[in-house]
């Protein structure tokens, strides 16, 4: 079952009825990952209007909107900004290096960040009230580098539209009120161009002129490495980086943002082929001008370069509290096993529980983009490295070959590209292990863009004298492992042997595994397996710890079938669902004109709940707005429009009720 309860039309109508925003249809991203306009090199995939006059066509007329979205049901949704809709939206492009902390200046306070916001493919949209009687136009980078304003005559792409990256636009904290658009921003936008530049004597002499004051002037950020000199010519590809480094040095020497802008402008024309745009020069001057000209602490990193690629070896960064709270950190993407990059997960089992087989099942699915609940939802194919420290290539191949047959041709193509197998072997005459060949493993991970590493198993991967020693495990396993996870920006999933007997393991929770407790403590996810597949027993998989994705622990039962796949047999609920919750879930699938009576529900759930409990639950659900009663005694699920729009707008997948699925 894959029920998308809300259509794009529902969302569009709700923007009008709930918020008073004018909407319009936009091109979308098709199943071929291309813009639906069909142009191979569409400059604005999924973002340009389907109608002739663009944002001028934006409408609050229900009939018009229905006509559009009946004609193009999958169209992305544009919301017109400006006085007509009463909103102004900031587009913070984090992918290009925008920091929302650059929005804090003057009397601006942090409540600007509690306003409804939308996660886009590249950053965030912040929605504000349109200030009365003031003309806010569209502009680029005038409030901060890569922070654009969408005002009068503009529009933004709104949830649940699909971004060119394949991600859906999603609301965050949309239950908040729209915040006021601060006066300091209005002043800044209305100031004469070139906007962020100030050349006052004050600014030049002590670096705390109007613009420098915008940034954390008391905060010392290390300048770029010494020795950066202006070359005679800078070609495309290194213009921004070179000019940023030079700007950093100028700032370090005490120049104001205005002076830096002036200097860069001249040098840009002189040495850059072709010269960078004025906007980009302004970004650079703005971004370095925010920092106090001070003595370096550590010349290693250049955190001022807005276009620098992520540096996974230098991720440490100090923040002033105000900056820290204002900074928008990207949410961690969950890759699989309930963890994301730089997280560690561990799966613990006794011999013959089938954990190697389960790891192979899951790893192949993740590489192929095939869902394997509850460990991997099939969000996207993930680049996997599977280190098997226990088995020879022939054995691994035979097993994977048996499993391989279930995949579709499309999945096979992904699998072929995304699954790296490293069976047991020698390196330099030594058995390959992580603690002796860490550098090689790191290079493999880095060069292949590996995101998720599966290791079977801990004790074979590391040379340990005593795996029960916390001190030894910390020194030889945990520290190098964390380093690998950070420098490679990848997640690790480890298999770990139990030493204990089965009856000692039950209810042992995260500490069921043999060996040092340090390993369990380090892991963000701990999963235990009980059972013996060699006896044909079903295997219980218990998630005893789950830190990263905020989900609940669970227990499930699988059976290893002849096809070498673990099939879910039934689902053991950690906590029994109430009649209220059970019926609420069920009724999501009963949508008008389909209806049921209380008697129907009693028949359906009498095995689980008493008649009175079912009746009471129905009454409460109706009172709470989860049910509708289109006619006497007839109930259906409430269309979750008002509650779900524009807040809580999960992608369609979230409506899939996997908890009740039984295979």
Residues 9-28 that bind Zn ion (CB under 5 A): 27
**Segment contacting Zn ion by CB under 5 A, of 29-37, 90-98, 340-348, 510-518:** 29-37
* Least separation in angstroms between CB 47 and Zn ion: 8
Min CB(76)–Zn ion separation in Å: 10
Minimum Å distance from CB 496 to Zn ion?
50
| Interaction between residue 35 and Zn ion (CB under 5 A) | yes
Nearer to Zn ion, 34 or 332 (CB): 34
CB within 8 A of 579, min separation 6: which ones? 605, 608, 609, 613, 614, 616, 617
For the record, the structure tokens of 316 come out as: 């440490």
Shorter beta-carbon distance to Zn ion: residue 37 or 220: 37
What letter does residue 628 receive in the DSSP assignment? E
State which residue, 40 or 201, has the beta carbon closest to Zn ion: 40
Q: Which is nearer to Zn ion, 35 or 334 (CB)?
A: 35
Closest to 531 (Cα-Cα) out of 662, 351, 347, 663 = 351
- Residue 92: CB minimum distance to Zn ion, A: 23
Count the site residues for Zn ion by CB under 5 A.
4
User: What character string, x for contact with Zn ion (CB under 5 A) and - otherwise, covers 149-188?
Assistant: ----------------------------------------
Residue 513 CA to residue 525 CA, distance in Å, equals 13
The smaller minimum CB distance to Zn ion, of residues 46 and 224, is found at 46
**E strands in 318-378:** 334-336, 339-340, 344-349
Site string for Zn ion, 38-77 (x = CB under 5 A): ----x-----------------------------------
Q: How far is the CB of 199 from Zn ion (least distance, A)?
A: 42
Looking only at residues 402 through 461 of this chain, which bind Zn ion when binding is defined by CB under 5 A? none
590 forms part of the interface with Zn ion (CB under 5 A): no
Q: Which is nearer to Zn ion, 46 or 203 (CB)?
A: 46
Smallest separation (angstroms) from Zn ion to the CB of 138:
20
User: Closest distance between Zn ion and the C-beta of residue 155, in Å?
Assistant: 15
Minimum distance between the CB of residue 34 and Zn ion, rounded to whole angstroms? 8
User: Is residue 37 a contact point for Zn ion (CB under 5 A)?
Assistant: yes
Q: Which is nearer to Zn ion, 73 or 449 (CB)?
A: 73
3-state secondary structure (DSSP) of residue 537: coil
- Which CB atom, from 68 or from 185, has the smaller least distance to Zn ion? 68
Residue 35 or 473 with smaller CB distance to Zn ion:
35
- What's the 3-state SS for 273-329? ECCCCHHHHHHHHHHHHCCCCCCCCCCCCCCCCCCCCCCCCCCCCCCCHHHHHHCCC
In the complex, minimum distance from the CB of residue 42 to Zn ion, in angstroms, rounded to a whole number:
3
Q: Which residue has the tokens 């227990």?
A: 555
Q: In the bound complex, what is the minimum distance in angstroms from residue 28's beta carbon to Zn ion?
A: 9
Q: Which stretch binds Zn ion (CB under 5 A): 34-42, 237-245, 316-324, 428-436?
A: 34-42
Q: By CB under 5 A, which span of 32-40, 270-278, 557-565, 584-592 interacts with Zn ion?
A: 32-40
Contact 309, 271 (CB under 8 A): no
CB 55 within 8 A of CB 153: yes
Cβ pair 526, 345 in contact under 8 A: yes
Instruction: Give Dmax over CA atoms of the chain in angstroms.
Output: 85
Cα–Cα distances in Å, from 333 out to 336, 371, 490, 513? 9, 16, 11, 27
332-336 LR contacts (CB < 8 Å, sep 24+): 332/548, 333/379, 334/379, 334/548, 334/549, 335/366, 335/376, 335/382, 335/451, 335/452, 335/491, 336/362, 336/366, 336/375, 336/376, 336/382, 336/452, 336/491, 336/493
Given a contact cutoff of 8 angstroms between Cβ atoms, the answer to whether 27 and 45 are in contact is: yes
568 backbone dihedrals φ, ψ, rounded to 5°: -65, 130
Q: Which residues bind to Zn ion, rule: CB under 5 A? A: 27, 35, 37, 42
């Amino acid at each position: 079952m894959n029920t998308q309860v809300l259509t794009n039309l529902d969302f569009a109508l709700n923007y009008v009825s709930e918020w008073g925003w004018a909407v319009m249809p936009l091109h979308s991203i098709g199943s071929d990952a291309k813009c639906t306009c069909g142009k191979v090199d569409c400059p604005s995939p999924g973002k340009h209007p389907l109608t002739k006059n663009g944002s001028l066509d934006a409408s609050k007329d229900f009939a018009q909107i229905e006509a559009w979205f009946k004609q193009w049901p999958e169209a992305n949704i544009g919301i017109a900004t400006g006085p007509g809709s009463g909103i102004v939206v900031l587009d913070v492009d984090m992918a290009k290096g925008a920091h929302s902390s650059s929005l804090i200046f003057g009397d601006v306070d942090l409540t600007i960040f509690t306003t409804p916001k939308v996660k886009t493919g590249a950053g965030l949209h912040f929605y504000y009230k349109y200030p009365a009687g003031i003309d806010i136009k569209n502009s680029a980078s005038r409030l901060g580098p890569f922070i654009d304003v969408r005002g009068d005559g503009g529009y933004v792409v709104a949830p649940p539209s699909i971004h060119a990256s394949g991600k859906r636009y999603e609301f965050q904290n949309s239950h908040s009120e729209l915040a006021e658009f601060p006066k300091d921003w209005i002043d800044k936008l209305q100031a004469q161009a070139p906007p962020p530049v100030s050349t006052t004597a004050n600014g030049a002499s002590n670096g705390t002129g109007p613009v420098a004051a915008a940034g954390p002037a008391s905060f010392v950020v290390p300048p770029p490495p010494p020795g950066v000199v202006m070359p005679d010519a800078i070609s495309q590809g290194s213009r921004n980086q070179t000019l940023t480094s030079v700007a950093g040095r100028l700032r370090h020497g005490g120049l104001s943002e205005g002076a830096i802008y002036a200097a860069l402008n001249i040098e840009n024309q002189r040495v850059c082929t072709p010269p960078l745009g004025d906007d980009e020069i302004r970004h650079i001057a703005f971004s370095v001008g925010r920092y106090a000209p001070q003595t370096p602490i550590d010349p290693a990193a250049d955190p001022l370069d807005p276009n620098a690629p992520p540096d996974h070896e230098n991720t440490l960064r100090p923040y002033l509290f105000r900056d820290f709270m204002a900074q928008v950190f990207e949410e961690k993407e969950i890759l699989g096993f309930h963890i994301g990059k730089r997280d560690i997960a561990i799966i613990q089992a006794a011999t013959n529980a089938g954990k190697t087989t389960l790891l192979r099942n899951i790893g192949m699915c993740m590489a192929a983009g095939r869902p394997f609940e509850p460990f991997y939802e099939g969000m996207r194919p993930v680049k996997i490295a599977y280190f098997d420290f226990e088995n020879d290539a022939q054995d691994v191949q035979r097993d994977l070959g048996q499993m391989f047959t279930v995949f579709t041709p499309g999945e096979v193509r992904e699998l072929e590209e995304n699954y790296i197998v490293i069976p047991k072997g020698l390196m330099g005459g030594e058995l390959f292990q992580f603690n002796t060949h860490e550098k090689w493993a790191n290079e493999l991970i880095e060069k292949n863009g590996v995101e998720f590493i599966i290791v079977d198993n801990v004790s074979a991967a590391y040379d340990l004298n005593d795996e029960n020693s916390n001190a030894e495990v910390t020194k030889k396993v945990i520290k190098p492992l964390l380093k690998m996870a950070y420098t490679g920006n990848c997640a690790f999933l480890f298999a770990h042997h139990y030493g204990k007997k089965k009856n000692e393991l039950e209810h042992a929770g995260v500490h069921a595994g043999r060996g040092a407790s340090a390993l369990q403590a380090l892991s963000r996810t701990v999963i235990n397996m009980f059972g013996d597949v060699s006896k044909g027993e079903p295997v219980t998989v218990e998630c005893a710890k789950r830190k990263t994705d905020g989900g609940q622990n669970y227990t499930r039962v699988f059976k290893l079938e002849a096809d070498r796949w673990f099939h879910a047999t039934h689902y053991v609920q950690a906590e029994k669902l109430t009649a209220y919750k059970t019926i609420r879930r069920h009724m999501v699938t009963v949508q008008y004109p389909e209806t049921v009576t209380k008697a129907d529900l009693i028949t359906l759930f009498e095995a689980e709940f008493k008649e009175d409990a079912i009746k009471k639950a129905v009454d409460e659900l109706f009172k709470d707005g989860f049910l509708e009663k289109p006619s006497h005694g007839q109930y259906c699920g409430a269309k979750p429009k008002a509650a779900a729009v524009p807040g809580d707008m999960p992608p369609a997948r979230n409506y899939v009720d996997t908890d009740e699925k039984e295979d």
